[in-house]
Amino acid sequence: MGWQLHVLKIAITNRLPFGQMLRRFKRRIFGYEPDASNIHSTLASFEHMTTVLKAGNRSFENATVLEIGSGWFPTIPIMLSLNKVKHVLMTDLIPHMDSMTFDATVKFLRNTFSDDQRLSNIHQLSDLPISYLSPFSIDHVQDASLDYVISRAVLEHIPPKDLESLLAALRTKMKPDSLMVHIVDHSDHLEHVDKSISRVNFLTWSKSRHATINALLKGGENRLRHHEYLAIFVRAGFSVIRADGQTHQPTLERIPSLRLAEPYINMPIAQLAVLQSTYVLGLASS
């Protein structure tokens, strides 16, 4: 399916008055199997987060963690629970996870980690130190209660102004020595369904076309590049402890053949070809 048809399909479903009900009905009848590659990628991201923290002599053990944008499959919250976290706050603006997607995640993890007997004792969310806050409000979180705020492939879906406001609001909810760890995917996610386009195809769109497609998708992506996040973090009141960006070589080689739109046509190609970043943030001194 071309990306245009994919956008049209989502737009039609989003605008059906019973769209959410239709999704739930489909899950109940046909099940909702997670995409194996996506779950494995999420597990790799979790392992990367733990490695990054270990490098700073930190860990998730006995910590209170808020995950921004937990989505359908609670892979990272369950893994945090298995790694002796104190409490996990899962958050979404609208509810995505339900009993079916929770069960599918547990089943997948049992098959993946067949030697881990702890997974056999997990039957429902209440078996774990997890709270699901959706629709999420910052008022749900106590002041100075969080040790970590984390996200994976979520910040790229938040409009820049909303992202800055969210991060700034979370400052008072974090302990003085707490950290944020964010993994950001800077690629065009429509490439996942249409391999004929480049992984930065959306950088060829005008601002108006980008806004239209995001409206159809009821979200979409903000298109922020690796370096552009840094200023947002600082304005929100954070110091950037670590900012690792991974350049994607095939994209680096393909960009010169693309008809880039403003402002990307004036950015160095090396900046545009960074498709994944890891950011570690601490509270900036007042």
C-alpha distances in Å from residue 172, one per residue of 142, 250, 283: 9, 42, 10
Report the residue count for the chain.
Answer: 286
Q: Domain locations in the chain?
A: 3-281
Residue 48: the pLDDT is 98
Q: Is cis: bond before 135, omega within 30 of 0?
A: yes
> Tell me: the pLDDT tens digits for 44-55?
999 999 999 999
Determine if the pTM surpasses 0.75: yes
Which pLDDT tens digit goes with each residue over 2-58? 888 887 877 777 665 655 565 565 556 556 677 899 999 999 999 999 999 999 999
Name the pLDDT band for 218 (thresholds 50, 70, 90). confident
pLDDT of residue 219: 84
Percent of the chain with pLDDT over 70: 92
Residues 137, 19: Cα–Cα separation, whole Å: 24
Q: Helix, strand, coil % (nearest 5) of the chain?
A: 50, 20, 35
pLDDT of residue 69: 97
Q: In the CATH scheme, what is the code of domain 3-281?
A: 3.40.50.150
The pLDDT of residue 20 is 59
Cα–chain center distance at 184: 7
Least confident window among 28-32, 59-63, 150-154, 176-180: 28-32
Mean pLDDT across 101-120: 95
